[in-house]
């Protein structure tokens, strides 16, 4: 179908015919057609002169070969020559116009089919360049396409009454054999010569050629004249000629043998000449000639392919050599015992030896003894695998006795022609090796360090997936490293707050660190849940990992603080209890002292003042115990916040009243600045008292005599604020960050006032934070300090608890 579509669709035909006759065809084409036409007619007439079974069917039909080669070489445009040639030959031989037309059609279709198949499946004009091409040609052109002509031709003869139907198969076979011969004997000759016309003449060559031809003619004549009637004797000559003169020699030999053999056979001579009929003789001869032609041609082509691949191999070897010579890597070729057969020039640069110095040496001798066994093993393994490669790193010794690390890749080309060696290319990796060793050492150090750290460490990537966890971390969490790696920290290690609520992703400190790029230290009580669902209070520091100014991940250092918490709780409870016990004797002392001071009329002035000192010290003791007690309550989280509507000014005035003795003692000017119409605040009076009392007491304590302290209370749209300012000693800059820390006292404060618990600001800060307020300060050493506390308009947050602060 495809064939028909492409060559014979009505439209294509019409178009091509018009183009052919009126537009496209020039003189050249017409003369080409005439030439082929004449050759076709000539050889056709010659062939038909050997037609014995039917005037139109001959066992020697060279035109088939001409037609096929013409179509292959010149394309479709020469089909008129074939068609009219066939028509004309038949017309002048036997039959009338109709049968001649039918036969001509068959011949043309045969040629077109053959040419198409060869072009499509067997490389076209290059069909005889490979042995495989010859096989394909034999099948498609010689065996297959020839059935077209035979079938159409014989049907035409039968229909035209030129042969009786019962002779159909005899005539068909003769026809088919004839056409096959044309393709096998004539087509190769024409095509090979047409594509390789150039002949190089040399006197010796001509002599050789003449010798070969004459030997061939003599032997062939001897065979086919019947002197030595063994046809196969021609074959050694064909092989000889094919070997020396290639395909042109082979095809020419076929032509000569065919010519002599046919002539002699027709005249009843030779090995095929004694058959009952000439036609039978010719058929047998034809078979012989076809096989002879194929044998000679195949042999010649095999030789051609061999020499071509030899050339390719030689080129490859050339390239291979160039590659080695110019390679930046050093290359040596060694045999199976590592003897160096060849060394490339670049070995000088690497090893200090010239290639000549190395050639003949045993390669293993250049390798340091420690690495020798390893390389020997690699080589012995490689030798067993032809074509295989193996890479090995070892230390080699240069000419100046330096040890050089090299990476060598061996390729087993022992069975490769022109090489026959193991090709080893190698290069210096000393620097790389040193760096790698150093890195390994560092890595091991790091790992040892991380493993020995007593805190848990978890590293995550920027999505929160765990990339590393140290030994201690696994122990604390009760999991194995592999259970965590690659998982999200949020799901792999759940975090809960005090109320057993699991913290969602967005509340996890790590999420904040990854989004904000800031370090976070635990501020509130959180718990990690172990794999077995037990949990522990955790203290951690999460730090972002910044690479190229981008957050690349986070590192969390954490500790299980169960014990610390328990110790802390026990400590707090102890303080609480001890404080109570201490207060009873103190209250007793105070009460008795109060009575003594008040009623001690018999005391001297001095004795009275001594008693007052004792009393003051005892009171201070009570204050201290109260502060400790409050601290323990704040830390236990057991204190109550009970807001009520109160007046800040009133609370402040009460505090001032309590502090008046101290204010007067230091002659301090206290300025009270309460905003007019200050609204009532929703606040716990006790807590507010503690706040103001501490701030004011500090201001008085850390201010010189006769200085000024300002107490200010205001209400804005942001809420309530109380400011206590002094122009006293101030807080040193470098200690300001610790000022709210429990038991901390600034250096200057210690010097000025040895008395002090370091609890006041801690308590104030704790209360303010627990009740939803804010505290801040501004301070400069020797200039003064301003502490500010603020609460939102809604005042203090309520808190249910067990104990009140005192």
Partner 1 sequence: MSGLKKVVLITEDEPPMLRILTDKLTENGFETLQAKNGEEGLSLAFQHHPDLILLDILMPKLDGMAMMSKLRQDDWGKKVPIIVLTNVSADTDETLQAIVKNQPAYYLVKSNSKLEEIVEKVKEILSPLPQSA
Q: Which residues of this protein are in contact with partner 1, per CB under 8 A?
A: 580-581, 583-584, 586-588, 590-592, 594-595, 598, 622, 625-626, 640, 801-804, 806
21 vs 592 by CB, closer to partner 1: 592
CB 296 within 8 Å of CB 134? no
492 vs 629 by CB, closer to partner 1: 629
CB neighbour burial string for 402-434, b if at least 16 within 10 angstroms, e if fewer: eebbbbbebbbbbebeebebbbbbbbbbeeebe
- List, in order, residues 6 or more apart from 677 with CB less than 8 Å away: none
21 vs 574 by CB, closer to partner 1: 574
63 vs 643 by CB, closer to partner 1: 643
What is the number of other CB atoms lying within 10 angstroms of the CB of residue 67? 33
243 vs 592 by CB, closer to partner 1: 592
Spatial distance between the Cα atoms of 91 and 93, rounded to a whole number of angstroms:
5
Nearest-CA neighbor of 231 among 261, 254, 196? Answer: 261
Minimal distance, residue 725 CB to partner 1, in Å: 29
DSSP summary character for residue 454? S
Minimal distance, residue 598 CB to partner 1, in Å: 8
Minimal distance, residue 588 CB to partner 1, in Å: 5
135 vs 592 by CB, closer to partner 1: 592
Minimal distance, residue 616 CB to partner 1, in Å: 13
Minimal distance, residue 697 CB to partner 1, in Å: 16
Minimal distance, residue 683 CB to partner 1, in Å: 18
248 vs 633 by CB, closer to partner 1: 633
Minimal distance, residue 590 CB to partner 1, in Å: 7
CA separation (Å) from 385 to 363, 374, 418, 424? 20, 17, 18, 15
Minimal distance, residue 799 CB to partner 1, in Å: 12
Minimal distance, residue 589 CB to partner 1, in Å: 9
CB 774 within 8 Å of CB 722? no
Minimal distance, residue 625 CB to partner 1, in Å: 7
Torsion angles phi and psi, residue 198, rounded to 5: -70, 125
- Rg (alpha carbons) of the chain, rounded to whole number: 58
Minimal distance, residue 646 CB to partner 1, in Å: 19
State the Cα angle at 338 between 336 and 342, rounded to 5°: 105
What is the number of other CB atoms lying within 10 angstroms of the CB of residue 326? 11
125 vs 589 by CB, closer to partner 1: 589
722 vs 759 by CB, closer to partner 1: 759
732 vs 801 by CB, closer to partner 1: 801
Task: Report helix, strand or coil for 654.
Answer: helix
Minimal distance, residue 592 CB to partner 1, in Å: 6
Minimal distance, residue 716 CB to partner 1, in Å: 35
Torsion angles phi and psi, residue 688, rounded to 5: -60, -40
DSSP summary character for residue 778? E
Minimal distance, residue 773 CB to partner 1, in Å: 23
- Residue keyed to tokens 């019947």: 226
Tokens of 364: 């293993």
598 vs 606 by CB, closer to partner 1: 598
374 vs 580 by CB, closer to partner 1: 580
CB 182 within 8 Å of CB 61? yes
CB 782 within 8 Å of CB 617? no
564 vs 802 by CB, closer to partner 1: 802
233 vs 806 by CB, closer to partner 1: 806
Burial class (CB in 10 A: 0-12, 13-18, 19+), 287: middle
56 vs 618 by CB, closer to partner 1: 618
Minimal distance, residue 648 CB to partner 1, in Å: 23
Spatial distance between the Cα atoms of 407 and 345, rounded to a whole number of angstroms:
18
Minimal distance, residue 557 CB to partner 1, in Å: 39
230 vs 592 by CB, closer to partner 1: 592
630 vs 698 by CB, closer to partner 1: 630
CB 343 within 8 Å of CB 329? no
Question: What angle, rounded to 10 degrees, do the helices at 234-266 and 187-195 form?
Answer: 120
Task: Report helix, strand or coil for 770.
Answer: helix
Question: What angle, rounded to 10 degrees, do the helices at 234-266 and 278-326 form?
Answer: 150
Minimal distance, residue 583 CB to partner 1, in Å: 4
What is the DSSP pairing of strand 466-469 with strand 495-496? unpaired
3-state DSSP of 58-89: CCCCCHHHHHHHHHHHHCHHHHHHHHHHHHHH
Give the largest Cα separation in the chain, rounded.
Answer: 180
State the Cα angle at 511 between 510 and 515, rounded to 5°: 115
3-state DSSP of 214-277: HHHHHHHHHHHCCCCCCHHHHHHHHHHHHHHHHHHHHHHHHHHHHHHHHHHHHCCCCCCCCCCC
CB neighbour burial string for 345-362, b if at least 16 within 10 angstroms, e if fewer: ebbbebbebebeebeebe
Nearest-CA neighbor of 629 among 684, 586, 680? Answer: 586
- Residue keyed to tokens 């039917």: 54
Minimal distance, residue 706 CB to partner 1, in Å: 29
Q: DSSP for 725-761?
A: EE-SS---GGGGGGTTSTT---HHHHHH-S---S-HH
Tokens of 169: 């198969």
């Amino acid at each position: 179908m495809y064939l028909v579509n492409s060559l014979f669709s009505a439209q294509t035909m019409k178009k091509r015919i018009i183009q052919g006759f009126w537009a496209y065809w020039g003189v050249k084409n017409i003369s080409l057609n005439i030439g082929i036409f004449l050759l076709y007619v000539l050889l056709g007439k010659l062939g038909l002169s050997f037609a014995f079974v039917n005037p139109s069917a001959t066992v020697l039909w060279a035109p088939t070969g001409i037609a096929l080669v013409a179509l292959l070489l010149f394309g479709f445009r020469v089909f008129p020559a074939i068609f009219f040639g066939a028509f004309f030959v038949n017309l002048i031989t036997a039959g009338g116009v109709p049968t001649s037309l039918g036969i001509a059609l068959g011949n043309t279709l045969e040629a077109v089919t053959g040419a198409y198949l060869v072009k499509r499946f067997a490389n076209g004009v290059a069909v005889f360049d490979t042995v495989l091409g010859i096989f394909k040609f034999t099948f498609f052109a010689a065996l297959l396409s020839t059935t077209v002509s035979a079938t159409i031709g014989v049907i035409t003869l039968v229909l035209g009454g030129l042969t009786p139907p019962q002779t159909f198969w005899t005539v068909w076979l003769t026809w088919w054999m004839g056409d096959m011969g044309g393709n096998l004997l004539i087509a190769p000759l024409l095509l090979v010569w047409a594509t390789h016309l150039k002949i190089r003449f040399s006197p010796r060559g001509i002599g050789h050629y003449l010798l070969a031809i004459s030997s061939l003619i003599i032997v062939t004549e001897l065979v086919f004249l019947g002197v030595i009637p063994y046809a196969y004797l021609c074959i050694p000559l064909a092989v000889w000629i094919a070997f020396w003169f290639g395909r042109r020699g082979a095809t020419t030999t076929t032509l000569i043998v065919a010519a002599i053999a046919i002539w002699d056979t027709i005249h009843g001579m030779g090995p095929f000449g004694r058959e009952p009929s000439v036609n039978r003789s010719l058929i047998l001869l034809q078979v012989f000639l076809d096989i002879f032609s194929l044998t000679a041609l195949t042999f010649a082509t095999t030789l051609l392919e061999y020499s071509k691949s030899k050339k390719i191999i030689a080129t490859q070897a050339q390239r291979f050599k160039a590659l080695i010579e110019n390679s930046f890597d050093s290359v040596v070729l060694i045999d199976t015992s590592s003897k160096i057969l060849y060394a490339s020039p670049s070995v000088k640069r690497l090893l200090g030896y010239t290639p000549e110095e190395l050639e003949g040496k045993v390669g293993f001798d250049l390798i340091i003894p420690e690495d020798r066994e390893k390389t020997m093993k690699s080589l012995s393994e490689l030798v067993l695998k032809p074509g295989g490669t193996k890479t090995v790193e070892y230390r080699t010794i240069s000419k100046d006795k330096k040890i050089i690390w090299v990476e060598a890749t061996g390729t087993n080309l022992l069975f490769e022609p022109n090489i026959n060696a193991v090709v080893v290319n190698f290069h210096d990796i000393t620097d790389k090796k040193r760096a790698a060793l150093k890195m390994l050492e560092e890595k091991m150090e790091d790992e040892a360090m991380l493993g020995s750290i007593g805190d848990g460490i978890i590293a995550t990537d920027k999505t929160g997936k765990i990339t590393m966890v140290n030994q201690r971390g696994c122990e604390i969490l009760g999991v194995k490293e592999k259970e965590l790696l690659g998982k999200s920290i949020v799901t792999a290690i759940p975090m809960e707050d005090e109320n057993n609520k699991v913290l969602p992703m967005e509340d996890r400190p790590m999420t904040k660190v990854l989004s904000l790029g800031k370090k976070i230290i635990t501020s509130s009580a959180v718990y990690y849940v172990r794999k077995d669902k037990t949990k522990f209070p955790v203290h951690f520091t999460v730090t972002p990992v910044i690479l190229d100014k981008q957050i690349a991940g986070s590192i969390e250092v954490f500790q299980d603080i169960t014990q610390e918490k328990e110790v802390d709780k026990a400590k707090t409870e102890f303080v609480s209890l001890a404080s109570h016990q201490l207060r009873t004797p103190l209250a007793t002392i105070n009460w008795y002292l109060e009575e003594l001071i008040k009623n001690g009329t018999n005391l001297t002035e001095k004795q009275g003042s001594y008693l007052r000192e004792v009393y003051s010290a005892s009171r201070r003791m009570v204050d201290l115990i109260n502060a400790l007690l409050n601290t323990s309550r704040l830390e236990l989280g057991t204190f109550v916040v009970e807001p009520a509507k109160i007046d800040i000014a009133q609370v402040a005035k009460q505090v001032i009243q309590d502090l008046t003795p101290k204010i007067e003692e230091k002659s301090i000017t206290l300025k009270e600045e309460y905003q007019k119409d200050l609204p009532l605040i929703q606040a716990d009076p006790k807590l507010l008292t503690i706040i103001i009392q501490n701030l004011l007491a500090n201001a008085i304590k850390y201010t010189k005599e006769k200085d000024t302290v300002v107490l200010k209370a205001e209400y804005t749209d942001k809420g309530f604020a109380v400011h206590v300012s002094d122009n006293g000693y101030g807080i040193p800059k470098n200690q300001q960050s610790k000022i709210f820390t429990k038991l901390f006292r600034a250096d200057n404060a210690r010097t000025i006032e040895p008395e002090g618990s370091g609890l006041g600001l801690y308590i104030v800060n704790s209360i303010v934070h627990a009740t939803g307020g804010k505290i801040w300060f501004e301070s400069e050493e020797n200039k003064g300090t301003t502490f500010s506390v603020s609460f939102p308009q809604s005042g203090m947050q309520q808190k249910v608890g067990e104990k009140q602060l005192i």
